[in-house]
Structure 1
Amino acid sequence: MKAYIKFLFIALWLCSSFYCNGQVSYYRTDSLTKYNIKVYDESETSNALCCKVMLKDKVMQKFSPNEVIEYCTNNGKVYKAFDVNYHNKKQRFFLEKLAGNYLTIYYLRSPDRNQHYYLFKNDTTDLIIISNNTDSIKKVFYDYVNYCPEVNSDIEYLTPNKYRIKRLAENLNKCNSSHLTRIRWGIKTGIHLTSLNEPKSNNLFSITDKQLNWNTLLGVFTDIPIKGSNYSFAPEINYQCIGIYYQFEYYNYKHDLLYNASHLNIPLNFKYTFLTKRINPFIIIGPSLTVVNEKNGVVFKYVTNGNSVLIDIPAEQMTQSLLKGFNIGGGIIRDYRNKASWFVEFRLNFSNNLTRSTDYFSESQVSLNTGILF
């Protein structure tokens, strides 16, 4: 199985290394176009200044924007040479093509490390400079691309970010309903079914007849898109109240277990959202850390002595103060494009002792949550 997964990763890497926008990596001059060569993808500034290639005889060569008209790197980035106004004089750079069709957006990271955006309409031959501030970028899009009402509402959330501008330009060219991702935060509440799982060592807590108890959850979270894509980093802080009661026998003695605690659960999740028109499914997975506080747990042992019953307390600590684990789940978001979006999710959470102790309970939870994404 591991060998199969490794093969898939290698195959995907090879595909991404040699193909871009349906074409192999290449560079083009006034007189020729060379394909099937290695075209390096270096820093954004380096790519703007030169095209670096490895020829078939393994000789490395660099071309300036005066020598090469256009090139495509092994990673699929397309650059085209343009004369632009830089520090009040005309200078030639390779501009990265962020999106193209009717509306084409180019990007430049200049030698002074500043970012520049340019709009190129196919019915003209001029580059239109887009000032690098939120209002100017929005105005350009409103002025030039209002032909697609399906995605016009996303312009409101546009910021001077390379990946967000690229995504919006692609959506507008295709005139599709794929939403523009943005940083969001939210609140949620829910119920979770909690179970204390027996430890690996054989001790008092080796209870096989478990009972499951419903408890409550309240949380806050944020959703941070990764490079403007459907992938996002979604950390959370959840406050949980847990109350569990077991009756069991251990070495022929009856016991009662009472466990009341509050948890601060901190998942560091990664999320993928399938962005569609109205209903937007998502999957989420990540590691978690749980801080167990306000512990109030006790085990009562009942010993019969003639007509009397003696009560002993053989244990008061049932879990460690810190638990590590992971969670996985999925759900749906309704109307992602709205300023406030309702969602519902299903989540599985597994927590174990932070250290290698085998003497205490671990926890597992199934939760059903709902909330609002702002």
Structure 2
Amino acid sequence: MATLPETSDYRQLFLAGTPFLDLRSPGEFAHGAFPTATNLPLMSNEERARVGTCYKQQGQAAAIALGHRLVSGAERERRLEAWSGFAREHPDGCLYCWRGGLRSQTVQQWLADAGIVYPRVVGGYKALRRFLLEELERSLQRAQLVLIGGRTGTGKTRVVAALDNAIDLEGLARHRGSSFGHLPEGQPSQIDFENALSIGFLLQLQGSAGPVVLEDEGRLIGRLALPESLRQRMQDAPMLVVEESLAERVEVILEDYIVDLGQRYMDSEGVLEGPALHRTRLLEGLDRIRKRLGGERHQAIRTQMEKAFAQQRASGDLDQHRAWISALLESYYDPMYRYQLSQRAGRILFQGRRDEVISFARTGLSC
């Protein structure tokens, strides 16, 4: 029997954006996965649990036999067709299971018997995950970081999006980084976030000695934590500070949190439920910072927000949103920004409007 292809060049797999056929159970996949992976499991959660119990009680041979009984006949053919379809659609891909062992070897052989020779990742998901964890530490040791700072609403994320040498932390975390930053699609798992972050650095640093630009963030983005080694590097990293007028910042918040976020909720929940959920989520975000605002100020801003949503619902007019946005920026976010900036050790390389910061970042940064 011919030896089937395998690879352990984990770096190249991630640099190439290799499509992965992930054969682990849905539960394993939900716990942690890679951005280019598709989960087409050999066994369901229940089937895997039954095989695991059998292995503990009766040994490997009995567990293998049970696995073959569970995935047999028409069900085996249905799953084989899904794997075959993936392989035909992604001829440059690879398959793996948890450790690159029996599950992936079995499916690889079944595919070969069907006329499809498809490579297997040696060591499976576990080896790929270990590589990314170690690679992130190596990346942070050699990378020069530059942060994009500025008051809330200056459009820091827009700066990051305009640069080729940047990693969008909030984009990877699927969260806008504030009490109001929850998105309807929800956040990835912590492991998914770390995997994507490591891949982001790997891609940025390939063949490049230039700086990697990140938005200045706190310890958490939503419920996801930045790796401690990254936080330590960010603490003393130099900064580019975006400066915009209060009026401009209000417009940025209006666009991001009312117009864009409102559309996302409508796309996700429908034209009837979406606007109501959008309103509820923003009010919940305000309530989360009630103690820091103080009861009286919190209630005043909450009343403004409720009136603004009522006007928007009645006429589509967004104007009243500007009042609570302005009040929240001046009374809460601006004082918090001044404090956070005072805690930073890194020097300020440049300050200016958003377009000026983008221009400086493209032409004025060096190693």
TM above 0.5, yes or no, is no
Which one has the bigger helix percentage? 2
Tell me the TM-score normalized by structure 2.
0.21
Considering fraction of residues, name the structure with more strand. Answer: 1
Which structure has the greater CA radius of gyration?
Answer: 1
Report 1 or 2 for greater relative contact order, CA contacts < 8 Å, sequence distance ≥ 6: 2
Q: TM-score, normalised by structure 1?
A: 0.21
